[in-house]
Amino acid sequence: MLRSLARGSLLVLMFTATTALLAAPVLAQEADGPAPLSVYGALPSLEMLELSPSGQRLAFITVTGEARTLVLLDLTTREQVGGADVGVAKVRDLDWLGEDQILVTTSKTENIPASASRAPRCLAARSMTPAGTVSSRC
């Protein structure tokens, strides 16, 4: 019974100490003012990671502002083996077509001057190789 009480007291003490340690940064931050919104609202800089069928290559999209770029990496050498500028179009999907081509599906919203209604989307598909764009269709 005495051991059980001692063990329970030790657990309460450990819980209290852990809670105090975890709360210390929050309390210190409140003293300095609220955290800037950029801490909570930063958008991801990588999108759409896709592994090749053999698992030796990785394709992904990097984002800088609104501009997107396709990057192709060789995982065995850890070097970039290709890539292409996608522009401001939104990348909807990446699909490997074998080991040497990747299909990039994008969409872009554009205004049509004759219509005051909602702007339609143009879905585009691009087939790219490590050397660059092979074909593009909208």
Q: What is the pLDDT of residue 74?
A: 93
Give residue-wise pLDDT tens across range 39-72. 777 667 888 899 999 999 999 999 988 899 999 9
Give residue-wise pLDDT tens across range 76-133. 999 999 999 988 888 999 999 998 899 999 888 877 776 555 555 666 666 666 666 5
pLDDT bin (cut points 50, 70, 90) of residue 27 is very low
3-class DSSP assignment, residue 23: helix
Percent of residues in the chain assigned helix, strand, coil, to nearest 5: 25, 45, 30
Q: What is the pLDDT of residue 114?
A: 65
Q: What is the pLDDT of residue 115?
A: 56
User: Sign of the C-alpha dihedral, residues 32, 34, 38, 39?
Assistant: positive
Task: List helix spans (H) across the chain.
Answer: 2-32, 38-41
Whether the per-residue pLDDT at 19 is higher than 60: the answer is no
Is the pTM higher than 0.85?
A: no
Structure tokens at 100: 């040497």
Write b or e for each residue in 14-44: b if 16 or more Cβ atoms lie within 10 A of its Cβ, otherwise e: eeeeeeeeeeeeeeeeeeeeeeeeeeeeeee
Rounded to whole angstroms, the Cα distance separating 89 from 96 reads: 19
Q: What is the pLDDT of residue 4?
A: 47
